[in-house]
Every structure is written in structure tokens, then in C-alpha cells.
Amino acid sequence: MTLERDLGGYVRAAWPILEPATPFSENWHVDLIAEYLMLVRRREIKRLIINVPPRTGKSNLITVMFPTWVWTQEPHTRFICSSYADSLSTKHSIDRRDIISSPWYQQLWGDRVTLADDQNLKTEYRNSARGVMVATSTGGGIVGKGADFIVIDDPHNPLQVLSDVERATALRYFDTALSTRLDDPKRGCIVLVMQRLHEGDLTGHLLAKQGWEHICIPAEAERDEVWKFPVSGRRYERKTGEVLWPARWSMEVLDRFKNDLGSYGYAGQFQQRPSPAEGGILKRGWWKRFETAPEKFDQMIQSWDFTFKDSKGSDFVVGQVWGRVGSNKYLLDQIRGKFSFTASLAAMRTMTQRWPAATAKIVEDKANGPAIIDTLRNELSGIVPLSPQGSKLARAQAAAPELEAGNYWLPQTLWAEEFMEECAAFPNATHDDMVDAWSQAACRFRTSSFGIFEFYCGEAQIAAREAAPAPTDLQILNAIEHEIPPPAPDAGKVASGEKEGDRGPRYCPACGNCEYDGQIKGCPDPSRFTDCELEVAPGAKEPPSGVVCRRRGP
């Protein structure tokens, strides 16, 4: 029979059962999705993700009609269909049962598909061939139930998806419950259909694992598109700006959605991109770029965001070095990785070795930050605990005006591009560690006072560059990879011809009043300076002509 071979034709024939008052509206995306689902039925595609805007018939086509169509050929198959809410999954289940029980369906396939009287509930029913359809919701109990096909329709509540807890619950439910319910893992199929709501939603979670066929159809084409139909071989071309479903949507209608949902809501639900193309509160176009950093800075700081879980799903440790010249701030370096506690210590030591002029080391005084502070406080001077005020979003919003004004500069590097992309996707990004480190640095810059002290620091940085080179990138990577601290700075080594203990008071031009008496004691203000020692003749009160500070510049 033709309808058994053609899901698109089946959908058109069954439509009046579900929508008797609404004529079927033809559009190319219906046949495209139907052909991909036909390959799922053949087990040629076993993992399929479909991202389409709301109210495009996705639930009727994928969650309701596809399972009932499969039963016309394989009445023995078992389905588990899930959604974020019981009420929604129950509605889909009733719609499926209405199609199966309809005179139209029974006339054509009643000889192979008849619902059993002893198991015919709203959320679970069985047919005469032992095929079963089960409806559940995120977090619902499915222990003891198996399936040949699992269909997941909107696993996240749009009103709760920004909650890390709620989002994690949906991901955990898939990983530990739904994904284990296939009776035959080699042949079983899973279909996910949803609108994008967050970069860390179930679509993002599964795409990161790879192995999934992905169909992503935005409401407006953001570039020229060519869609190839996998069964018929048909091609459909869509030009930039063309609307997905002109019979139902005009640009005026989509503009109303944009106004109602805002840039984030529209980008996710209609464009299937969880962050707006230009970025959200931290827009891509606001960042300035540089190829060569300034030679001197009025102020340099490190900013750290720590986590020690060192697991696949954990957040990243991020350490950044920022330099300020007037009102402009430059991102000079960044370390980012999923580090253990030991590797995190090594990372901070490494960054300090590489950028000793960045003497203030800002560490968030919560979560894992206090452990780092307690461990390194007596080893690395200048560690400044910072208690965050307000939410992550509020802190980023506080820094946004300076970014919009063009006061933040990024280098022309790949890791800086990744930083900018995370900022553009914030607060819907999967990770926000780089954003946190940046907003923390921005807070420090806003609350710091500057003066002649910082001016002489900048002068010392230039003079120090040629005195001792910074560690190489290879040394830094080795230190982090093997969780060992980098080589200790050589600023305190005894000069040639001297003996330990023979060194007299000495003077550091970086701060103007660092005098030492026989041994290294550190700067008077360790929150700002470290390694100010000079190798000078014993007893010298002033540095000889040409002697510069041993503190290294970038």
C-alpha cells in the first residue's frame, strides 16, 4: 500500500483525524522531516535530532503520526514517548490512540493493529501484536519498560530551562533512564525533536557526544540553503531571509514574535540558535582587536575562576591576564582547562612566572577559590580574595557598558575567538567560566585606584623585558599537563662572586622603597609586588648605574 511506504502521504491522509477544522497546509519541511523518519523506521538512521520552530506541526508529525505509521508495517514494535510535562505527553498519547482507533485506520490496518481491551490506558496501551506505546515525562518512572523506538518531544520547559538544576535534571534523565530503555541497543532508534532553548540543552548535550544525525531548520534563512531529501532525492533551495512557512508566517508575524520573545527567546525558539547572531548582552561587535599589545601598562592583573572536579562534565579552570592603559583593557593571556587541584596550583604558578608584572591575583572567594587562596597565600604574594556581588548575569551586565564603549581589546588568536563566542552566548552558553574571569577583572578595574605607583610599575616592565625571558609555551603546557610547578624564578639567586648572606640592603626602582638587609624578605606591599630583588654589591644602598628590577615583564 502506498501510505505504508510514504510517511508524507500518511500524514496528509491522517491529518483530518487530529485537526478536522484545520486544512492541511503544504510546506517543504514536512516532506523533508518525513523522509528522515522513514530512514529511522528502516534503521538506516538510529539517532536523529530535529530542531524546528514551534507551531510547525512537529509534534503531530513526529510524536503522534510517526509511531502510528510504523505500526502499519511493524505492529509488534514498542514505543516510549516523552516530553517535559505529563499533560503534554498524555495529550500526544491520546492523539495516537485516536488515530489507531479511528474508522479510517481500522479499515486499512485493523487486521493487524487492534488495541487490547485489558491494557488501554491514556498513557499506555498494547495492540493485538504485542506492540506497546508508553507515554512519560522528564523524571517519570520507566523502570521495567523497554522500546524499539524512543521519541523525545521538547524535553525542557521553556520557563525553567535557564535553571542549571532543571536543565541538569533533563540531561540526567536522558543519560541514566531513557537512553537505557532500548530493547536492542544495536537496532533501537532514538528521535529527539525540540526547539533550541540553551546551548546546554539536550540538543547541545547530545551533539557534543557526536553520532547523531542533525536537522536544524530556522524560521528565517540566515544564509542560502540547499536541502537534499534523503529518500526522493529532491532538492529545495532557500535564499537568505526567506521565511520557512510563508503560508503561515510573514515577516510582520515574525517581527511580533521577536518583540514578544526578545532577542534570546527568538534566536533559540525560532532560529534554533540559543544566542542571537550578534550576541546577547555581550555583543561580538563590541570587542576591539589588537595584533601587538602596548609596550607598557598602567596596571596588570590576573583573574581566576577555579573548579577542581576534573571530570568530563565539570566546568573549566580559567586564568586570565589583563593589562590596562588608561581606560582601555587588553586580554594578554589565558589558561583554560579541566584541572585537578594540583594542576590548578601549577597553572597559577605558571601564569605568575610568565607574567610577574600582573601582581594582583584576583580569586573569587567562594566555591573552590578559598582552597587556592589558603594554599598559595604564603607562596605567591598579591592574591586578593574577591567576594562576588550579585548574580553572574548582574556582574556581566555591570561590565557591559565599558565593553560597548570599546574599552576591551582581544588578541587575534583562536582562544580569544572562543572567549568572544562564550561571551556572545552568555547567559545561555554551556560554560561561562571565561565570562566569569572577565567580569571579575572588570570589577577589579572599576574599584581600583591608580597613581604614580602604577606608572613606575609600567616603566619597570619595559626595562625588565630584556633582563629575563618569560617561560616558553611548551614549559607552561608541560607544567599544567604533568601537574608540576614551573621552575622557580631566579630573582633571588646569589650574584657571581657572592656568598649567601653577604648581600646588603638593596633598592628596587619599581616601588622606590624596597630595601633588603641580608636576606630576601619581599616587598613592603606584597599585594602589589613580588620578586623585586636586585643582584647588587653587598652594602649598596642605591642600585649601580644600569641595574634594573629583576621583575619580569610580559
State whether the Cα torsion 173-175-179-181 is positive or negative: negative
Give me the half-sphere count of Cα atoms (radius 13 Å) on the Cβ side of residue 507.
Answer: 12
- What gap in Å lies between CA 98 and CA 485, rounded to an integer? 68
Per the CB < 8 A criterion, the answer to whether 381 and 529 are in contact is yes
Q: Which residues pair with 225 in a beta bridge?
A: 238
pLDDT tens readout for residues 525-543? 444 333 444 333 344 344 4
- pLDDT bracket for residue 367 (50, 70, 90): low
Minimum mean pLDDT range among 37-46, 99-108, 191-200, 421-430: 421-430
The mean pLDDT of the chain is 81
Q: What is the 3-state secondary structure (H, E, C) of 239-276?
A: CCCCECCCCCCCHHHHHHHHHHHHHHHHHHHCCCCCCC
Q: Are the C-beta atoms of 386 and 365 separated by less than 8 Å?
A: yes
Is pLDDT at 349 greater than 80 in this prediction?
Answer: yes
Retrieve residue 117's grid coordinates. Answer: 481491551
Q: How far apart are the first and last CA of the chain?
A: 75
Count, in order, helices (H) and strands (E) of the chain: 17, 17
DSSP conformational letter for 182: B
Residue 469 has a pLDDT of: 52
Question: What is the model's pLDDT at position 24?
Answer: 93
2-269 and 284-460: identical CATH topology: no
Has residue 44 got a pLDDT over 50?
Answer: yes
Contacts 24+ apart (CB under 8 A), 261-268: 264/428, 268/195, 268/196, 268/197, 268/198, 268/428
Asked if 409 contacts 289 with a C-beta cutoff of 8 angstroms, the reply is yes
Topology of domain 2-269, CATH:
Rossmann fold (3.40.50)
Q: Is 263 left (phi over 0), alpha (psi -120 to 50) or beta?
A: alpha
Greater model confidence, 187 or 456? 187
Q: What is the pLDDT of residue 467?
A: 52
Taking residues 228-251, report their average pLDDT. 94
- Which amino acid, one-letter code, is at 310? D
Highest mean pLDDT among 60-69, 408-417, 464-473: 60-69
Q: Is the pLDDT of residue 524 over 70?
A: no
Which amino acid, one-letter code, is at 526? P
Does the pLDDT value for residue 410 go beyond 70?
Answer: yes
Residue 271 has φ and ψ, to the nearest 5°, of -100, -5
Helix (H) or strand (E) holding 524: none
Percent of the chain with pLDDT over 90: 51
Is the confidence at residue 304, as pLDDT, over 80? yes
Q: Which of 113-127, 224-238, 444-458, 487-501 has the lowest mean pLDDT?
A: 487-501
The amino acid at residue 534 is L
Q: How confident is the model at residue 509 (pLDDT cuts 50, 70, 90)?
A: very low
The number of angstroms, rounded, from the C-alpha of 462 to the middle of its chain's C-alpha atoms is 38
**pLDDT grade, residue 512 (50/70/90)?**
very low
Rounded to an integer, the average pLDDT of 442-470 is 54
CATH 3.30.420.240 assigned to 284-460:
yes
Burial class (CB in 10 A: 0-12, 13-18, 19+), 517: exposed
Highest mean pLDDT pick, 392-406, 488-502, 525-539: 392-406
- Of 70-84, 113-127, 382-396, the poorest mean pLDDT is in 382-396
Residue 133 has pLDDT above 50, yes or no: yes
Q: What is the pLDDT of residue 397?
A: 82
Distance (Å, rounded) from C-alpha 60 to C-alpha 498?
86
pLDDT band at 308 (very low <50, low <70, confident <90, very high): low
Buried/exposed 450-477: b ≥16 CB within 10 Å, e otherwise: eeeebebbbebbebbbeeeebbeeeebe
pLDDT of residue 279: 63
pLDDT of 115 > 80? The answer is yes
**Plot region of 526 (φ>0 → left; ψ -120 to 50 → alpha; else → beta):** alpha
User: Stretch 224-251: mean pLDDT, rounded?
Assistant: 94
The side-by-side arrangement of strands in the sheet containing 317-325 is 288-290, 408-411, 328-337, 317-325, 299-305, 360-364, 383-386
User: If we measure between CA atoms, which residue out of 348, 343, 344 comes closest to residue 333?
Assistant: 348
Interval 260-298: pLDDT, tens = 887 778 888 999 987 765 667 788 889 999 999 999 999
The domains of the chain are located at: 2-269, 284-460
Helix (H, G, I), strand (E, B) or coil at 385: strand
Distance CA 378, CA 382 (A): 10
Is residue 113 within 8 A of residue 75, CB to CB? The reply is yes
Q: When comparing pLDDT for 284 and 410, which is higher?
A: 410
Phi-psi region of 497 (alpha: psi -120 to 50; beta: other; left: phi over 0): left
Q: 106: which strand partners?
A: none
Cell of 521: 624578605
Question: Whole-structure pTM over 0.75, yes or no?
Answer: no
Rounded Cα distance, 414 and 427, in Å: 21
* DSSP symbols for 110-129: TTT--EEEEEE-SSEEEETT
Across the range 360-384, mean pLDDT stands at 80
CB 30 within 8 A of CB 14: no
- Segment 464-489 mean pLDDT: 45
Given this model, what pLDDT does residue 400 score? 86
Q: How far apart are CA 552 and CA 531, in angstroms?
A: 9
Half-sphere exposure of 86 (CA within 13 A, CB side): 6
**What number is the average pLDDT over the span 61-73?**
97
Angle between helices 473-481 and 341-354 (to 10 degrees): 160
* Cα-based angle 214, 215, 221 (whole degrees, multiple of 5): 135
Other beta carbons less than 10 A from residue 215's beta carbon: 17
Percent of the chain with pLDDT over 70: 78
> Which three three-digit cell numbers place residue 10?
500518511
